[in-house]
Structure 1
Amino acid sequence: MNYLLIEQADFRNQLKPFTFTRPISEIRVGILTIREKWETHLESNVSHISTPELSEKYPAKRDARNILINSSVCPNPDLVKAIQLGASLKKDGVLICAAATEEEIDFFNPSQKLEEAAEYDGDITMITQSWHIFQKNAAEIRSDFDVITKGRNTQHVNDPHTRVYGEKNIFIEEGASIKAAILNAENGPIYIGKNAQIHEGAIIKGPFAMLDNSHVNMGAKIKGDSTIGPFCKVGGEVSNSVFFGYSSKGHDGFIGNSVVGEWCNLGADTNTSNLKNNYANVKLWDYAKGGFKDTGLQFCGLMMGDHSKCGINTMFNTGTVVGVSANIFGGGFPRNFIPSFAWGGSAGFSTFQLKKAFEVAEKVMERRDKELNEVEQKILTTHFEESKADRFWEK
């Protein structure tokens, strides 16, 4: 059976700015991306059906017999068993999966399949809002940890100056280095990826995951429920936040209840507010609505899209959304919604022109032995044109 992850349009809009540059299933929540979760559970390669501008980077593999799975749904063992039977399933008015021939894919009608689908009576986890990424991260770390460490042997902490609590809940991949740190996994697992490095004086509390080749810098305080994706460098104070990968917050400063995309950099002493002074619910920018939406959450920090950067001493207000390839700097609090390709801060914005954005992205990606190829440039170019409507200073 061939498995394809498909997107629900309203969920895709609700997960912006992260879905401007990736399919929903490439979002990292827990240890793995949603696609990686399905591949691990199904023991099979899984591809995407996404928007036209992303199809070249994320091509769909089609076969005579296919199962289409809602890419906002995270797998669990019971759900996987039900899906492998080939039936169409739904949950609370949302289509979970449906079978389709190769010819049917182009004319796939979710509404029709929803009517035909059987109600799934088990529990499911869905990522349909941007804040779900950090809100459900702890539970997904636990779930992923159980799956990817089952039957495997961990490397051990050999450093005599590192203190470990709840050692049975810690899994360390080959090549990882831990020096004079404190690891507390009593309240949740800690996963350390291949060749990852935890530097002197770092304090880490689980649930926590750091992926391959990432660094937790000296003296960092990681309060738990957090994920650091591959090739990241993170320092300072971090609480219930997710870094997708290839991003840096190398210095002191606080980030909490936040999500940071790929190829981002937070300057020294950047701080994010995650709680309003009046303790009211946090509102986040809704791209589909073109206005702010009540999250129902008391704690919510920063949502930063790919390739965005901020200068030293940047102060982000509670519930700030930053688009793709924005560059924020200067004193004071910038506004709560910063569109893609914005250049500036509280004093005002101009447009970060595409040529300049490419120049920065090329230099940043070279540092991780990656290339800003034509496919990546096409994705950013398409988004630059589409995001003009958000750039209020151009009107």
Structure 2
Amino acid sequence: MSMISLDIIQTISLSVLVLLLGRSLVKKIHFLEKYSIPAPVVGGLIFALLALVLKQGNILEFEFDTTLQNVAMTMFFTSVGFSASFSVLKKGGIKVIIFLVAAVGLIILQNILGVSLAVLLGQNSLLGLATGSVPMTGGHGTAGAFGPLIAEAGVKGADTIAIAAATFGLVAGGLLGGPTANRLIRKYHLSPTKDPKNTVKNELIDETATTEEKRLIPGNFSTATFELLIAMGIGTIFSSIIQGWKITLPSYIGAMLAGAIIRNISDSTKKYDVPMTEIDILGGISLSLFLAMALMTLKLWELADLAIPMIVMLLGQVALAFLYTNFITFRMLGKDYDAAVLAAGHCGFGLGATPNGVANMEAVTANYGPSPTAFFVLPLVGAMFIDFCNSFIIVFFMNIL
């Protein structure tokens, strides 16, 4: 069998081609667009399937230099750290805090369920994390980061399983949200509130606005790049200190902490600016490149022996998300119309990604009426806090196990 070895430049170049292929297919195939399947996931999986066919046919095998994959991953999670503004959390009001607590509760239960099912099925307990909050609440970004770490800890194919579980979660979360909200709205006879307080403050809209809505300043991109790189450098020091305490953690945790510190010092002192729009854009680019490389280097042949346990664990996660959003999220948020819309959003958010949660809420409100509170609360928690919390909870579980 022939071997093709790609160096660092060839690998990153191929990942861009894979990403562009994914973008093209997402635009053309309605199913992929409807369920917000990320373009690098689409392109990367196609390449991984091609690599599987070539390897199984004893024709060709690829070898990659994935040095830049770790750099891109670290830059993305550093941008997540910069988004963790505690002043914004405080201004967001009680519902933001309640929803964050609810989301953290689901993260903990996802990992407890995943580990329990793994043990019951006679598998390594760490496999439960690869189908728990790593791919579910975490999505493809967290799956790509923690999957290899779980694999290094002794779970063969954990990186592939985590990515596959994240893809399953995106679809399942999109399918579950609508029925959840319909059930709650009809059972409790809910309707949109007329309360004028149910609006979002302008200053908070600005914090969570999409990059298309914000004015981009070219000079800010250099500032954003420099701040990200500084945080990444400081983060290596933080990580080495934490690892000295014999705590297992991914390499980006220190950088994420550094980003959060730099952001919150800026918020409190106003001594320097943190251009979040540009940081978010750079983080998004990094995430796309990281995912493209992570997906195209998957070893799908490692999934065969774990197919049945993985299916059982994933179905368990769907059942948990349904029960949790119906009986915990909905009740914690007040059992009103906004709570029902947020429960639908939490299905997509807790099984896939923030865009899935927003898409679920859009479908519900198109039928029943607006919910400004829901459309403020979920994106704020999803964009600024949940990845930060999830990473530390996963690290906690890994070190216990």
| Shorter-chain TM-score range | under 0.3
Higher relative contact order (CA 8 A, sep 6+): 2
Scaled by the length of structure 1, the TM-score of the pair is: 0.22
- Decide which structure has greater helix share: 2
If the length of structure 2 is used for normalisation, what is the TM-score? 0.22
